[in-house]
Amino acid sequence: MTAEVTTPRREKLANLLSDGENIIVFANSQAALSKLVQDNNFLYLTGLNNPELIYVAGKFGGRFNDMLFIERSDPERIVWEGEKLNAEEAAKISGIKRIKYLDEFYAVLSGMCPMMNTIYSNLGFVALDRPMTYPMYMLEPIRSKHPQIEIKQLNNLITPLRKVKDEWELQQLQKAIDITGKGIMDAMENTTATMMEYELEAMLFYRMQRNGVKNWGFAPIIAAGLNASTLHYEKNNSRIETGDLILMDVGASYNNYSADITRCFPAGATFSERQKQIYSLVLDTQKRVIEMIKPGVTLAELNQATTTLLAEGLLVIGLIEDTDDVTKYYMHSVSHFLGMDTHDLGGRSAILETGNVITVEPGIYIPEEKLGIRIEDDVLVTESGYCVLSQNIPKEIAELEEIRKAALEKK
């Protein structure tokens, strides 16, 4: 992520601010974690993947100003912690010209505060039973000294920006999706019954790390048989049995952009008749919902269509007698935004616009039959409709059976 990528984002942000409005974004927004998780809003605006930085921007008298606070290097700590990001590097990577040190933060801020009416910050999740987040802790002295300043969630301001992906972001997402697809193919081509679920996880992760990916985008779900009917199964420690259908809900994170793909395939060479029946309903529903996607359509409409299609299908199959009972076998939403966060900013009631990337993931879960099926693709909303970014990852029954047959013959 270079200054060419992040500078236009800060310019767009500047246009959203009114006089007296400011933003303060902390690189590390989760105080409770011992391991740093870079805040995605901070990374989005600065391109800097370092801890302890603070980005401050504001508009006064119609002029936009911004600056970055960095750590001062302490020669005695270099041998322990390595060199800190210095001012020249920070300015070069981010394109932000005014670089200051963290120990100047409150002095600089107190000069600005009398002119401020609003601060947007990455406050994190606020709840009575949770500890204060690092941004809350850092902003507390400002809040108590300057009660006229309203402190709001940055997400309210930045969601419209992050929801529309630029060209560079689409390239990162495509890369994450393609690498995930390779990992999925590896697992499909090498799985046999009696393997442990985590062996498939290892095949996927190996392929990802050999292709430029350091981390998963989220905890992978590798679920065989009954486990596939647990929506957030993450144990991945059961033995795969002949006859199981295996569900993999996985995504690589490439340059901090996450794929989110789900595929199912049989442990044997073929689907059973029942597996085929349910799989076909889910796949057919997914295709029809994807075809609805274009600017102006709402996520609510996609959800409604999914529920209707699955209910009608289950009625025909005879699993339910009343369409209202569909929630017994399908109980989640069909879509969420995808980006730096696997569940990206965008909201549940959003109206789709060109440049949005969403998942489409209907499913049917029948624990009494040891069966869970979900099919998930990542879809870009285009001017004329949609483009399925994960279209190269096989999902047709015939394709999957061919891959499995070849895989088991090889063994």
The residues that touch Mn ion, with contacts defined as CB under 5 A, are: 260, 359
Q: Measuring CA to CA, how many Å separate 186 from each of 83, 98, 179, 191, 216? A: 39, 48, 11, 8, 16
- CB 342 → Mn ion: shortest distance, Å? 7
Number of residues assigned to the chain: 411
The whole-angstrom separation of Cα 342 and Cα 336 is: 8
In the complex with Mn ion, which residue's Cβ is closer, 108 or 231? 231
**Alpha-carbon gap, residue 333 to 302, rounded angstroms:** 9
HSE, CB side, 13 Å, CA atoms: give it for residue 129. Answer: 0
Q: 3-class DSSP state for residue 55? A: strand
Detail the DSSP E strand segments found in 77-168: 98-101, 118-121, 150-153
| CA dist., res. 340 & res. 363, Å (int) | 24
Cβ proximity to Mn ion: between 54 and 358 the closer is: 358
Q: Which is nearer to Mn ion, 39 or 344 (CB)?
A: 344
Angle at 263 between CA 254 and CA 216, to 5 degrees: 25
Structure tokens at 225: 């048989």
- Quick one: CA torsion of 291, 293, 294, 299, rounded to 10 degrees? 160
Q: Which is nearer to Mn ion, 221 or 267 (CB)?
A: 221
Ranked by CB distance to Mn ion, the top (closest) residue is: 260
Q: Which CB atom, from 109 or from 246, has the smaller least distance to Mn ion?
A: 246
Q: How far is the CB of 359 from Mn ion (least distance, A)?
A: 4
CB of 107 to Mn ion, least distance (A): 45
* Residue 362 beta carbon to Mn ion: minimum distance, rounded to whole angstroms: 11
Nearest distance from residue 231's CB to Mn ion, in Å? 10
Q: Which helix (H) or strand (E) holds 364?
A: strand 363-366
Closest CB to Mn ion among residues 244, 361: 361
* DSSP label at residue 72: P
What is the closest distance, in whole angstroms, from the C-beta atom of residue 343 to Mn ion in the complex? 7
CA-to-CA dists, residue 286 to 291, 387, 411, angstroms: 9, 14, 33
CA–CA gap between residue 355 and residue 295 (Å, rounded):
9
Comparing CB distances to Mn ion, the nearer of 286 and 359 is: 359
> Is the CB of 39 or the CB of 260 nearer to Mn ion?
260
State the CB neighbour count (10 A cutoff) for residue 392: 11
Buried b vs exposed e over 276-299: b needs ≥16 C-beta within 10 Å? eebbebbbebbeebbeebebebeb
**CB 248, min distance to Mn ion, A:** 12
Closer of 6 and 359 to Mn ion (Cβ) = 359
